[in-house]
Chains A and B, each alone.
Chain A
Amino acid sequence: MEVIKIAWRNIWRNKARSLVILISVCIGMVGGIFATAAMIGMTNQRIDTAIKTEISHIQLHNPKFIFNQEQEYYLENTDELLKSISKSKYVSAISSRLKITAMISSAETASGVIINGVVPADEKAISNLHTKIIDGEFFTENKSNEIVISQKLADKLKLGIKSKLVLTFQDSEGNIVSDNYKVCGIYRTTNQMFDEMQVFVKKSHLSSICGYNENIAQEIAVLLKDNENLSLAETEIKEIAGKGIMVRTWKEISPDLGMMTDMMAQYSGYILMIILMALAFGIINTMLMAILERKKELGMMMAIGMNKAKIRAMIAWETVFLTITGTVVGMVIAQILVSYFGNVGIDLTMYAEGFEAVGYEAVLYPELNTSFYIQVVVLTIFTALFAAIFPIRRAIKMNPAEVLRTE
């Protein structure tokens, strides 16, 4: 205990020098933690958007549809499937969709799109797309041939609410059919690629035009209550669906998103390691100076019988205290910043177009979980112990008789 007490008091002997290193550690920590929180927040926002707006947690398809998105590779008896899956304790909402590739045409121009034939009530439960409507509404009850398109597509086709347009696609028998629709809603998400391709119509109407019965769908999307249960839910749904149906999680549907999560964890580790390594040299320098200044004192300690293990422990504790104090202060400041900007967001709307082109939101909400802070503390202790090696070696090599000799 005495060794720990001396180590703690020693760091306050030269306050100015200790403060310089503490502030350096503190600034490094704030920078590293906040940058990591911003990256993780950005990634999580992208994943959250993808799950809630675009792909949900789990999707079911005819296996052939995955490799060749032809409408003929559909799922049958979806009603029973929907009922069975919705009974799972992990499932929050479920929806079946027709997915048909089509040509959308206005008086001005035409474009390739994917028609999503949806049940509006189910879709509202599973996706937040209805909250992204910026003009009109997400379907009305009375009319059947309504379509919801994105603002990007509306601008491209020069369409507005109540504008008419034509969708041209193949029916279930391979015949080309054209159908008139009236725009009832215009949405805007933060993913321009999604906006450019996805249009939404009522499933009942599309089924009748294509010649499908109501129990046919190309896709079933499942929203879970908690992403933490993803693999458990996947296993259960696979059992319900049986062998002939492909069940995939969002990580498999969009591997780039899954990869991003892993990459972010690695990046944040690298950033932290680089910061800590840079700080380690500052700490080594400070500790070496401290040891050289106190060589007589260390010589006396060795002379009166303090063994090398205790000398090592004292210097290691001193280095750990010096580093950890700055780390803790830095972590507190970083947490305050992360909490504040986690609520109000970091406004990068001036770069909105660039962000949205790759599916990201222009307002970032930094976030970090507790385990990251624990990692920081563990890494900091390792860094401090690494930094202590050189001062310890210097101290241990001292000859007490030599250093005690008074000039």
Chain B
Amino acid sequence: MNIIEIKNLHKIYTETAVPVKAVNGIDLNFEQGEFTAIVGPSGSGKTTFLNMLGGLDKPTEGEVIIEGINISSLSSKQVIDFRLRNIGFVFQAYNLIPVLTAKENVEFIMQLQNQNKKEREERAIEMLKAVGLSERINNRPAKLSGGEQQRVAVARALASKPKFILADEPTANLDSASTNNLLEIMQELNKKENITFIFSTHDQRVVDKARRIITIDDGKVKSDVKV
């Protein structure tokens, strides 16, 4: 069953002297439980595509329909709330809140969802345990390695019980050991919990683990392969 339907998606940046077609007519569907890598050279439109998929950017043309809701037509207030309740984000630069501990960072998104304190704490600990950080829950990001910080980011993304997780180059700043560790955790969560992961990546190690590989170039889908 499709949870995401993308129809004739276009994004044209007109701020420059010559308009740039970052995404140029993409039609795609994603099913529940996918573990998909979106690959392509720098400037191919991967991040722009992911931003529109996550409601961070509005398409110039086309639709992003998530479980029947066209998020491109939502107001900015509605789309913020939609993101909060339906989409998990993992960023390349981890982007944790430096003044909060690992547990508080994971709890933060649940607090935005107005969950009660007990539920939040239990789920934060559960998520951190799931990503292998049960010993580091009270450490602030500065006391964690890059790999550990990214695992906290994954725990945070999972904590809000999203319909899918978008990860923009999640392993770009990690060493091999941390990358493998993170990928194993995400694969396990994908298999056990049927959580949908969509990555944009340059990293062959991520591509090797993916079960679907979509190649984008010049803002268009060049290939879409299920492994």
The answer to whether A305 and B97 touch (CB under 8 A), given A2-B111, A310-B112, A401-B57, is no
The answer to whether A297 and B107 touch (CB under 8 A), given A303-B89, A304-B83, A304-B112, is no
Contacts of A12 in B (CB 8 A): 99
Most B-side CB within 10 Å, residue of A9, A304, A404, A405:
A304
Give A222 Cβ to nearest chain B Cβ, in Å: 64
Does residue B41 face the partner (Cβ distance < 8 Å to A)? no
The answer to whether A304 and B89 have CB atoms under 8 Å apart is yes
Give A321 Cβ to nearest chain B Cβ, in Å: 13
Give the distance in Å from the alpha carbon of A304 to the alpha carbon of B92 in the complex.
14
Give the distance in Å from the alpha carbon of A10 to the alpha carbon of B111 in the complex.
18
Contacts of B93 in A (CB 8 A): 296, 406
Give the distance in Å from the alpha carbon of A95 to the alpha carbon of B81 in the complex.
78
The answer to whether A405 and B47 touch (CB under 8 A), given A303-B83, A305-B84, is yes
The answer to whether A401 and B56 have CB atoms under 8 Å apart is yes
The answer to whether B95 and A296 have CB atoms under 8 Å apart is yes
Does residue A300 face the partner (Cβ distance < 8 Å to B)? yes
Q: Mark B121-140, 1 if CB is under 8 A from A, else 0.
A: 00000000000000000000
Report the interface size for chain A: residues with CB under 8 A from the other chain: 27
Does residue A231 face the partner (Cβ distance < 8 Å to B)? no
The answer to whether B99 and A6 have CB atoms under 8 Å apart is yes
Contacts of A405 in B (CB 8 A): 47
The answer to whether A300 and B95 touch (CB under 8 A), given A307-B81, A401-B51, is yes
Of all chain B residues, the one with the shortest Cβ separation from A306 is B112
Contacts of A9 in B (CB 8 A): 99-100
Contacts of B198 in A (CB 8 A): none
Contacts of A400 in B (CB 8 A): 56
The answer to whether A305 and B98 touch (CB under 8 A), given A2-B108, A405-B47, is no
Give the distance in Å from the alpha carbon of A166 to the alpha carbon of B112 in the complex.
91
Contacts of B144 in A (CB 8 A): none
Contacts of B69 in A (CB 8 A): none
B residues apposed to A, CB below 8 Å: 47, 51, 54, 56-57, 77, 80-81, 83-85, 89, 91-93, 95, 97-100, 104, 107-109, 111-113, 156-157, 160, 168-169, 172
Pairs of residues from A and B, 4 with the lowest C-beta to C-beta distance, nearest first: A305-B84, A9-B99, A300-B95, A401-B56
16 A-B pairs in the complex with CB atoms less than 8 angstroms apart:
A1-B111, A5-B104, A9-B99, A303-B83, A304-B84, A304-B89, A304-B109, A304-B157, A306-B80, A306-B112, A307-B77, A307-B80, A307-B81, A400-B56, A404-B168, A406-B172
